[in-house]
Structures are given as structure tokens and as C-alpha cells.
């Protein structure tokens, strides 16, 4: 099934069920008001939502309405935990431009992001200054059930409830400063945006294999193709491994969100999942980067389509805006 959260003036919004073709929707008010409620008691709420989903897809839902992604918050507007992992070795190593020699680590690199203020799929990326080197990060994320400390990667896969797309924004100049000082990533990681809908793994069909999504993530910047990245084969750590790494020494609670990190392919004809990776390639090839970071007014679009050509999660469509403009609105 496909679930979303509509804006209603509250912090957590209103849970809705969305049809498979993303054309119609229905409020889930009679079942649950918020997605976190569902995640806290999945076995009770999920079958009821599934029934509503099937009725909606059959065109028999009495109070269905046209689905509008612009009205969406993040599916989980604020979460107990948001952790992003560098699951694609290629992107991570290129971004570091071989400054850290040695073999690839056996464990994924993960950072704890801010989870109290996510962006909806059409919300502006609000930044203080262009000089901070604004970058996007096209990624996949999963939402978990309760996962116990010490869970194995294979067991952790059973704890995946939903999948989403994510735009994990980074301020690269501030990031370099924080890393140089041995600090955590705080100022360099503004709010993350998520796709209009979150979907259960079965919606992906055979594209969901052993904790990886074997499809193409399309990224455009200012209307121009930036990436057509294959998200499955080169994901060095699958989501079960990422979750197991996270809960090695602690429990992970329902509603936690785990990201893949920016998608990446060794074959450069697929493009890129973030600007930093493209700049790293340009530096290696030409001695200096040629692609600029994002500027105010720039637009982004991220979308993933199934094997039938239909959008799965809906599109993330955002513009970069200065803080003063956003406040004035």
C-alpha cells in the first residue's frame, strides 16, 4: 500500500491512503490519524489500511479525492530517529577524493541527522547562504518497526515497514569545516525532504531484492538530467546490514528512518546522485571542478519509476530559497 501525510496545520499532519497510480486518495481518519500511530501498532492498523487501499484502487471508496503532492508533508513529518548511511562506496570514496588511504571499511559509515523537522516533497530548501555550498543527495530510505539490539542483517529486513525517496541536503563548505575540526555533522546538515508517499516493500514487486531496490533514480537540476542512477547492484550495504549496524548496541524503535546515502554508479554515463561526486570526478579528470553547487532559485526533481513506467513514490520537486524569502512568505 501507499501512505502519505497531508498538511492540516498541525505538526504531524493527517494520514491518508493513496492509490497505486497516485491519482486518488482517502483520509485514514476512521482508522488512524497519524502514520506514527500505525507504525507503533502495525499488526492492528496495517490490515485495515490495506482494506481501504484495495477499495480505493477498485474505485469504490466513497469519499476519495484527487491526490495533490504539493499538500504533502514528509510521510513521517518528524521521527524518533533519522540515520543516513554511506551504503554506496563509490560515491563516498570519490567525495573524499582518496584523501583517506586504505582498504574499504567493513562497516558502513552512518551519521545521526536531525529528525525533528523534515521537509515535504514540494517544500523549499531554505538556506542561509550560497557560500555554504548547497548540495542535494538523492537517496532511498526505509522506515522501521521495532528492531531489537543485536538483530542480524537477515532478521533486520523483516523490520522494514516502508520505503521512501529522500533528498539529503548537505552544506559542503560547512561540512568540510566540521570534519576538519573533528566535529559531528550539525550545521552542515539542514532538513531532509522525503517523497510524497511511503510504500510497503510489496509495492516494488521483484525490484525489491534482499534489502535493495533494483530500479533507476532519476534526478534533474533546473530541468536538465543530472542522474539516472541504478540503485541496486552497487549498493555495498543493503538495508538489513544498515539497520543491523545501527542496532548492534541499542534497540531501534518503530518509526526510525534509515537512509542509503547518495546513490552512485561507477559507470559515469548514469550521472550522479549529488554534486560533490560530480565535482570529485571533474577534479580527478581536469584538475579542478567545473560544476557549481546550488544557487538560490535552482530547482530539483527526483523520481523513481517501476518497470511499468509508473511513478512509485511520486516526485520530490523543490526549489532553493534564501532564509529571508521563506520568512517573508
| pLDDT over 80 at 328, yes or no | no
Candidate from 44-53, 98-107, 142-151 with smallest mean pLDDT: 98-107
Report the relative pairing of strands 110-113 and 125-127 from DSSP bridges.
unpaired
284-302: pLDDT as tens digits: 999 999 999 999 999 999 9
Judge contact between 26 and 57, C-beta under 8 A: no
- List of domains in the chain: 2-67 (no CATH), 77-328 (3.90.850.10)
What's the rounded Cα separation, in Å, for the pair 257 and 78? 10
Closest of 76, 146, 81 to residue 113, by C-alpha: 81
Closest of 266, 120, 291 to residue 195, by C-alpha: 120
CA atoms within 13 Å, Cβ hemisphere of 249: 0
| pLDDT over 60 at 103, yes or no | no
Judge contact between 25 and 19, C-beta under 8 A: yes
Q: What is the reported pLDDT for 323? A: 92
C-alpha cell at 196: 510524497
Name 224's bridge partners: 221
What's the rounded Cα separation, in Å, for the pair 292 and 308? 35
Closest of 115, 69, 133, 111 to residue 276, by C-alpha: 133
Give the confidence band of 93 by pLDDT, cuts at 50, 70, 90.
Answer: low
Q: What is the reported pLDDT for 102? A: 46
Closest of 272, 275, 234, 237 to residue 258, by C-alpha: 237
Amino acid at each position: 500500500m501507499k501512505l502519505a501525510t497531508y498538511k492540516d496545520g498541525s505538526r504531524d499532519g493527517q494520514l491518508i491512503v493513496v492509490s497505486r497510480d497516485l491519482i486518488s486518495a482517502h483520509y485514514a481518519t476512521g482508522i488512524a490519524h497519524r502514520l506514527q500511530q500505525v507504525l507503533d501498532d502495525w499488526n492492528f492498523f496495517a490490515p485495515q489500511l490495506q482494506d481501504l487501499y484495495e477499495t480505493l484502487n477498485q474505485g469504490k471508496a466513497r469519499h476519495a479525492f484527487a491526490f495533490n503532492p504539493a499538500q504533502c508533508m514528509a510521510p513521517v513529518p518528524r521521527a524518533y530517529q533519522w540515520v543516513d548511511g554511506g551504503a554506496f562506496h563509490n560515491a563516498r570514496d570519490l567525495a573524499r577524493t582518496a584523501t583517506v588511504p586504505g582498504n574499504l571499511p567493513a562497516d558502513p559509515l552512518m551519521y545521526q541527522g536531525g529528525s525533528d523537522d523534515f521537509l515535504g516533497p514540494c517544500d523549499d530548501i531554505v538556506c542561509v547562504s550560497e557560500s555554504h555550498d548547497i548540495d542535494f543527495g538523492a537517496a532511498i530510505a526505509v522506515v522501521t518497526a521495532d528492531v531489537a539490539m543485536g538483530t542480524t542483517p537477515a532478521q533486520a529486513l523483516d523490520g522494514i515497514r516502508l520505503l521512501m525517496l529522500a533528498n539529503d541536503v548537505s552544506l559542503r563548505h560547512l561540512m568540510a569545516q566540521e570534519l576538519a575540526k573533528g566535529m559531528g555533522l550539525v550545521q552542515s546538515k539542514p532538513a531532509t525532504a522525503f517523497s510524497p508517499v511511503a510504500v510497503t516493500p510489496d509495492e516494488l514487486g521483484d525490484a525489491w531484492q534482499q534489502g535493495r531496490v533494483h530500479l533507476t533514480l532519476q534526478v534533474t537540476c533546473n530541468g536538465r538530467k543530472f542522474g539516472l542512477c541504478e540503485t541496486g547492484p552497487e549498493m555495498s550495504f543493503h538495508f538489513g546490514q544498515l539497520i543491523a549496524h545501527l542496532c548492534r548496541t541499542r534497540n531501534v524503535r518503530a518509526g526510525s528512518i534509515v537512509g542509503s546515502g547518495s546513490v552512485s554508479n561507477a559507470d559515469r554515463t548514469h550521472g550522479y546522485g549529488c554534486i560533490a561526486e560530480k565535482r570529485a570526478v571533474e577534479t580527478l579528470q581536469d584538475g579542478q571542478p567545473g560544476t557549481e553547487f546550488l544557487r538560490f532559485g535552482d530547482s530539483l526533481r527526483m523520481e523513481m519509476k517501476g518497470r511499468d513506467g509508473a511513478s512509485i513514490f511520486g516526485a520530490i520537486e523543490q526549489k532553493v530559497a534564501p532564509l529571508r524569502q521563506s520568512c517573508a512568505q
